[in-house]
A and B are shown apart, each in its own frame.
With several copies, the nearest count.
Chain A
Amino acid sequence: MITSKEFNCNYENKWCPGCGNFQILAAMKNAFAQQQIPPEKLTLISGIGQAGKTPHFLKCNMFHGLHGRALPLATGTKIANNDLTVVVNCGDGDCYGEGGNHFLAAIRRNIDMTLLVHNNQIYGLTKGQASPTSSLGMVTKLQNSGTPSSQFSALVIALAAGAGFVARGLSAESGHLTELIVKAMNYKGFALVDILQPCVSFNKINTLSWYKERAYKLADTDHDPRDLAKAFNLAQEWEKSLPLGVLYEAAGTPFHERVPNLKANALASHNYDSKLLTDVLLQNL
């Protein structure tokens, strides 16, 4: 019986006290425990930022990569070994800013992994610049006359790109978030959980209470996650209300079932076959 404690690791945590990331971390551990995945069977891949540090703070196999590039890194890992359970941690800047192109591509590939975006609507690690999810006009030290780009609506874009699993969590709703992570991991294909996460150090607008005042759970409504048109509408809610939960879920063909050579066994599982290679490569030259 694997408990969430099994994931505790003694590497010093480097987040600010009060940061929403702690609850995301807790929800992750709970979700892994619920699924009885032991640390040594878990591969976490992350970008650079406060969110990107997550894999250091629990027990797991991990690749803490480059800013913006967690998704293609994870894609390569997953293509190489489809038997791995791959979960990706990104920041909003990481995933929707520097990594925007990979976000679109990962959705279009429907690569079977779970993406957790720690969306604090700010660049945390670099000390408070606007991120793509910062609201239009938000003033920061560097955006002193207000962010001049309209807000990146991750959920709308994900739906537009054809994502089959689109959910939103709130770090403070750790139990609910645990459920979402479990669902996302069970989804066969690319699953996005965009997690609203207060940054107590730099985002003084979208605070925990800002989120709490607006958040409501889709589970408490009659929303049917198979309804794409409705999901589009829900994803567009923002200023006044913030739906939490699974906005959209539809079965699709994951990448490894689209590619003939990935269908049966993982690439990594084959043995080197000198005879086959000789026959195929050298015989007909």
Chain B
Amino acid sequence: MKTDVTLKIAGAAGQGIQTIGDLLSEVCHQSGLFIFSVDDFESRVRGGHNFNLLRISDKELAAPGNRLDILVCINENAYDLHKEELRSGGIAIVNAEKPGTRNKTRFEIPLKKLAEEAGNKITANTVAAGAVLAILGTPFTLLADVLKNRFAAKGEKIATLNVAAAKKGFDAAKDLSRNTGFTWEAKKSHNIVLSGAQAAALGALAADCRFFPFYPMSPATGVISNVIPYTEKLCVVVEQAEDEIAAVMMAIGASFAGVRAMTATSGGGFCLMTEGLGLAAMTETPLVIVNAQRPGPATGLPTRTGQADLLFSIHASQDEFPRFVFAPGTPVETYETMKRAFHLAEKYQVPAIVLLDQFLANSRVTEKNSLTVAPDIERFYEQNNSGNDDTPYLRYALAQDGVSPQRLPCSGPGLVRVTGNEHDPEGHISENAANKIAMTQKRAAKLPAMIKEMDPPLLVNPTARVLLVGWGSTRGNILEAVERLGDQSMEIGAVLFKDLWPMDRKAIGKVLDNKQLIMVEQNESSQLGRLLAQEAGIVSFDTILKYDGRPFFPDYIVQKAKELVK
């Protein structure tokens, strides 16, 4: 049996909610347990209401939990807001001025006072972590080791102080300890805890991306900030642009010069990049853009989650051109997707868009560590060893497969000529009608090979009559829902897309044909459903849609699916 505990730590922004969550996560990770940790916060810096939702298990987790075993309330408001979410048998730890109520469902603990007793009130969060772990039945030494490690850099005094604070909390709650069923012991695990944003940064770096021009925007900033720790050891440059237009243009400029580059943005910023996207396409300059979706339109809910940019990403920029659109479902998948995005963008000389969202970008999840760096990397540039007036280098030679030989400027005798106007093979402006047809067809000719590069969707019980269909970050939620429905003897399968565009319409049509399809998406119009209708001739589908800016939970999908299955 799987042991499975869900905690929520709630309070105001600036109260260090995330610190507590991180500490708990770290202890669990060191004990070989799996976590799924989600942050929920407002678009403000201090105050308001925040929480960290932490699920812990001894088996791999695909989704966050929602019924709470432990609710940690840094203020009373948090208790009022979340007490209904406690499952029966759950307990709330509530910060108080002085020791108070103390029963199986509510435990008032004076965090600040205990911290002061330990030596400094700033360790109140560590006190809370100690209390929680006591309740979870964790041996104190595990926490102590994590704290020593964590504060090692800040000197022994700080470390000791925190251990003392943790002990205060731990002792205060010791007698509330319950058997969670976990085996608590320090274990070297082959797992990693990553967020999607972190994974995207790592994947890009592993793909030899060296230049990250960007403009800050939630939730994309996290991708870039996760590059920062590596700028000392790796020769990469992060540059904050004056706006998103500049960011995408810088990436294109760098790519033209042969350096892999990417930018990351969200909705409004992606809008501003769409002209550049078309330039990359027309000049056939490789380009990778991470669009970390957030609920809109316009500024919308800047710190919340949503999946409503699929069709925009596929159709963005005037006229038509081949592009890749990916939407990984987990951090590890994000890492792999980023590597592929760079590889494929360069191989086909097209833009690649990687869709993330706040839920995937910010959630920290334990997964098997399958991360690798390739021993060597394939680059798609031709030697620049020829070219003169009579036989110039033809940047846009009419290659049958659409992929003309690409060279680097100033790397040899061939002049590299690139323009966003329609151009002849040499790269000069051409208004000729036949040339326009030839060039349009050349660009479009890449599609068949691009389609072959697409991984098919993940199929779970594909023979079931009813299929839940999703894409991107809802993956884990759907997987768990299918499992639970199965436990309730409902034969339901799933089709989970990670590679979205271009689409192998025939293969996908076969999978979806003659099924009851239930689209599970975080948007209002079922964008994937509409896309499948267009591409694979799906005529009708049901939907489970959520567009309140909050992530799905498996429970919700299970419940809605039951209502829908005919």
Q: Which residues of A contact B (CB under 8 A)?
A: 10-11, 14-17, 39-43, 45, 48, 50, 53, 55-56, 59-69, 71-81, 83-85, 97-98, 100-102, 104-105, 123-127, 129-130, 132, 141-145, 148, 201-202, 259, 261-262, 265, 267-268, 270, 272, 274, 276-278, 280-282, 285
User: Whole-angstrom distance from the CB of A157 to the nearest CB of chain B?
Assistant: 13
Which residues of B in the span 187-238 have a Cβ within 8 Å of any Cβ on A? 192, 194, 202, 205-206, 208, 210-211, 213, 215-218, 221, 224-225, 228, 230-231, 233-238
C-alpha gap A152/B14 in the complex (Å): 30
Q: Are B245 and A61 within 8 A (Cβ)?
A: no
* B371: chain A residues within 8 A (beta carbon): 281-282, 285
Closest 3 CB pairs of A and B: A76-B253, A76-B250, A61-B409
Q: Are B254 and A285 within 8 A (Cβ)?
A: no
Q: Which residues of B contact A (CB under 8 A)?
A: 14, 42-48, 192, 194, 202, 205-206, 208, 210-211, 213, 215-218, 221, 224-225, 228, 230-231, 233-243, 245-247, 249-259, 261, 268, 275-276, 279, 283, 298-299, 369, 371-377, 389, 408-410, 412-421, 427-429
Of the candidates B231, B250, B419, which one forms a contact with A56 in the assembled complex, judged by CB atoms under 8 Å apart? B419
- Contacts A80-B257, A262-B237 given; does A201 touch B213 at CB 8 Å: no
Q: Are B221 and A126 within 8 A (Cβ)?
A: yes
C-alpha gap A76/B250 in the complex (Å): 4
Q: Are A132 and B239 within 8 A (Cβ)?
A: no
- Contacts A40-B415, A144-B228, A201-B46 given; does A68 touch B243 at CB 8 Å: yes
* B413: chain A residues within 8 A (beta carbon): 40
Q: Are B374 and A285 within 8 A (Cβ)?
A: no
* B240: chain A residues within 8 A (beta carbon): 129-130, 142-143
Q: Are A126 and B298 within 8 A (Cβ)?
A: no
User: Whole-angstrom distance from the CB of A248 to the nearest CB of chain B?
Assistant: 23
* A104: chain B residues within 8 A (beta carbon): 242
Q: Are A276 and B234 within 8 A (Cβ)?
A: yes
Q: Are A80 and B410 within 8 A (Cβ)?
A: no
Of the candidates A130, A142, A145, A268, which one forms a contact with B259 in the assembled complex, judged by CB atoms under 8 Å apart? A268
Interface CB pairs A-B, < 8 A, 18: A14-B47, A62-B427, A65-B420, A66-B276, A66-B299, A69-B279, A73-B250, A78-B253, A79-B237, A80-B253, A84-B409, A98-B242, A123-B216, A268-B258, A272-B376, A274-B373, A277-B205, A281-B205
C-alpha gap A115/B338 in the complex (Å): 35
* B427: chain A residues within 8 A (beta carbon): 62
User: Whole-angstrom distance from the CB of B422 to the nearest CB of chain A?
Assistant: 12
Main SS of chain A's interface residues?
mixed
* A270: chain B residues within 8 A (beta carbon): 210, 235
Q: Are A73 and B225 within 8 A (Cβ)?
A: no
Of the candidates B210, B246, B259, B409, which one forms a contact with A72 in the assembled complex, judged by CB atoms under 8 Å apart? B246
User: Whole-angstrom distance from the CB of A19 to the nearest CB of chain B?
Assistant: 9
* A101: chain B residues within 8 A (beta carbon): 242-243, 246
Interface centre among A61, A130, A282 (most CB of B within 10 A): A61
Closest chain B residue, CB of each to CB of A42: B410
* A80: chain B residues within 8 A (beta carbon): 210-211, 253-259, 261
* B236: chain A residues within 8 A (beta carbon): 261, 267
Closest chain B residue, CB of each to CB of A53: B429
Q: Are A61 and B415 within 8 A (Cβ)?
A: yes
User: Whole-angstrom distance from the CB of A168 to the nearest CB of chain B?
Assistant: 23
* A71: chain B residues within 8 A (beta carbon): 246
Of the candidates B45, B46, B246, B373, which one forms a contact with A277 in the assembled complex, judged by CB atoms under 8 Å apart? B373
Q: Are A125 and B253 within 8 A (Cβ)?
A: no
Q: Are B237 and A72 within 8 A (Cβ)?
A: no
User: Whole-angstrom distance from the CB of B414 to the nearest CB of chain A?
Assistant: 8
Q: Are A141 and B252 within 8 A (Cβ)?
A: no
* A84: chain B residues within 8 A (beta carbon): 257, 409-410
C-alpha gap A10/B389 in the complex (Å): 9
Q: Are A79 and B410 within 8 A (Cβ)?
A: no
Of the candidates A64, A74, A130, which one forms a contact with B253 in the assembled complex, judged by CB atoms under 8 Å apart? A74
Closest chain A residue, CB of each to CB of B198: A285
Interface centre among A15, A63, A78, A105 (most CB of B within 10 A): A63
Q: Are A16 and B253 within 8 A (Cβ)?
A: no
* A14: chain B residues within 8 A (beta carbon): 42, 44, 47-48, 429
Interface centre among A63, A76, A144, A276 (most CB of B within 10 A): A76
Q: Are A105 and B241 within 8 A (Cβ)?
A: yes
Q: Are B249 and A41 within 8 A (Cβ)?
A: no
- Contacts A124-B45, A127-B45, A282-B373 given; does A77 touch B243 at CB 8 Å: no
